Amino acid sequence: MEFSVKSGSPEKQRSACIVVGVFEPRRLSGVAEQLDQVSEGYLSGLLRRGDLEGKAGQMLLLHHVPNILSERVLLVGCGKERELDERQYKQIIEKTIHTLNETGSMEAVCFLSELHVKGRDTYWKVRQAVEAAQAGLYTFNQLKTRKEEPRRPLRKLVFNVPTRRELPLGERAIQHALAVSKGVTICRDVANMPPNICTPRYLAEQAQSMADQYDNLSFSEVDEAQMAELGMNAYLAVGQGSEHESVLSLLHYQGAAKDVPPVVLVGKGLTFDSGGISIKPSANMDEMKYDMGGAASVLGAMQALAELQLPINVIGAIAGCENMPDGKAYRPGDVLTTMSGQTVEVLNTDAEGRLVLCDVLTYVERFEPEAVVDIATLTGACIVALGHHASGLMSSHNPLAHELLNASEQSGDRAWRLPLWDEYQDALDSPFADMQNLGGRDAGTITAACFLSRFTKKYHWAHLDIAGTAWRSGAKKGATGRPVPMLTQFLLNRADNGQSN
């Protein structure tokens, strides 16, 4: 779909449809008021007769409104004016686009971007509207033999902004939103792909083909033989029971001078996590195809970054691996020597993410990074703590934690910080090795992060546990594309030196 911004008055639009808000109870928004005057009270008459209460998400489609140049007017209920918040705004936009697609309109001019949302400016409203529109149109039907293409006549959506002065802001919002949406889409596509197709090799191919599309993006990989040479024994152990070889894929994005230290994003890429010898129960085990959600989000963020051509250096590391039970599989009781030299006693082969990541976190030291952020569906405990609304954020570096929290706040892609105090480290003490890969029942999300922290002493580091946010279960099962919006915002802010737009 195509998006643009303009600044004009509603009665002058000659469009297939114009979209304006109505508040509860039966109150016209300023823009609707203008239309009402031109149409000699047509809209207020409808409200008086009780055709639209104005409850959030209510829709009323009108044809042939007197004296109006547009073919249709879509009245959209926005709830109580003072209660319009971010969440409601996004829901209203999504519903509006759905409704527009049910009409025959090929294009529409939307005035909802002029609604007042507390603390948010035009940039934010346009950007969120475009992202919500794109996300709402997503389908994954590559693997269906009969593809049901829903009828979607809407081709072009124009957002109106209050003043001409805000047009450049609106245009930038669209550009940023389209880049984020592209990243979100590839993240969802790759994550939704089933584990018999989406293997570590498949992840590498996706990264490779992305690098082929952009001049300043290049691809390299570390295969099992190289991992063995490097001593990445924890990573290798996890993949030992799988027929699919482990592959660490690297995407190098160069937007600044060669000697500018990069930001490194590390994604957990377990293309299937059966638990290994400590096998998981069968219920919902299919969802462990999403255990590569971190890797998918790194792909997504790299895609958005390359679209935006930001003037920074970024390396995306995609830790592809499959965790399976087998005669060759690693087992509880094994002691592994990690690339860092530290030894780990395996108490549970289902705590595999940290074993893969710890070696990659050591590997990326060679890039002398400015900051490293790892993204992982690491612990079920994170869902217990935060549910499905926020990703867990842990960091040993306060400024980096705040940067990420800011990015999360700006993008609407929520994260919540959990502590990483030293007291939690004791849970990893092992009688036989430097540490064990299990921290016990308490604070599982934090002790997993504590484990990782032992491999990140050489740079500023933050960890995002996306176990609860990377995908949805149930009737609407599917990858969400999170936390691509947050990561992209983080990179945008870095490029802009702290400004969001």
Site for Mn ion, rule CB under 5 A: 273, 350, 352
Least separation in angstroms between CB 273 and Mn ion: 4
User: What do you get for the CA distance between the two ends of the chain, in Å?
Assistant: 23
467 binds, among Zn ion, ligand BES, Mn ion, none (CB under 5 to 8 A by kind): ligand BES
d(CA 200, CA 270): 8
Quick check: helix, strand or coil at residue 201? helix
Residue 448 DSSP symbol: H
Among positions 377, 395, 469, 480, the unique one binding ligand BES when judged by CB under 6 A: 377
Q: Is 477 a catalytic residue?
A: no
Which residue of the set 120, 280, 331, 472 is catalytic? 280
Task: Please check if 291 is assigned to a binding site.
Answer: yes
The partner in contact with residue 393, picked from Zn ion, ligand BES, Mn ion, none with C-beta cut-offs of 5 to 8 angstroms by kind, is: none
CB neighbours (10 Å) of residue 439?
27
The size of the chain, in residues, is: 501
| Closest C-alpha to 77, from 122, 115, 42, 103 | 115
457 is catalytic: no
Q: How far is the CB of 464 from ligand BES (least distance, A)?
A: 13
User: By rule CB under 6 A, what string of x and - marks binding of each residue 310-349 to ligand BES?
Assistant: --------------------------------------x-
CB 351 within 8 A of CB 438: yes
Eight-class DSSP state of 262: P
Minimum distance of Mn ion from residue 352's CB (angstroms): 5
Calpha distance 230→395 (Å, rounded): 27
Site string for ligand BES, 271-290 (x = CB under 6 A): --x-----------------
Nearer to ligand BES, 96 or 379 (CB): 379
359 binds Zn ion (CB under 5 A): no
Asked if 291 is part of the footprint of Zn ion (rule: CB under 5 A), the reply reads yes
The DSSP result for 387-411, as a single string, is TTT-EEEEES-HHHHHHHHHHHHHH
Contact status: 380 vs ligand BES (CB under 6 A)? yes
Catalytic residue (choose from 90, 95, 354, 414): 354
Q: Which is nearer to Mn ion, 34 or 447 (CB)?
A: 447
Task: Answer yes or no: are the C-beta atoms of 111 and 13 closer than 8 Å.
Answer: no
- Rule CB under 6 A: say whether 250 interacts with ligand BES: no
Q: Would strands 27-28 and 18-24 be described as parallel, antiparallel, or unpaired?
A: antiparallel
438 binds ligand BES (CB under 6 A): yes
Count of other CB atoms within 10 angstroms of residue 450 = 25
DSSP track, 49-66: TTS----TT-EEEEES-T
Q: Which does 380 bind (CB under 5 to 8 A by kind): Mn ion, Zn ion, ligand BES, none?
A: ligand BES
* Binding footprint of Zn ion on the chain (CB under 5 A): 270, 273, 291, 353
* Positions marked active-site: 280, 354
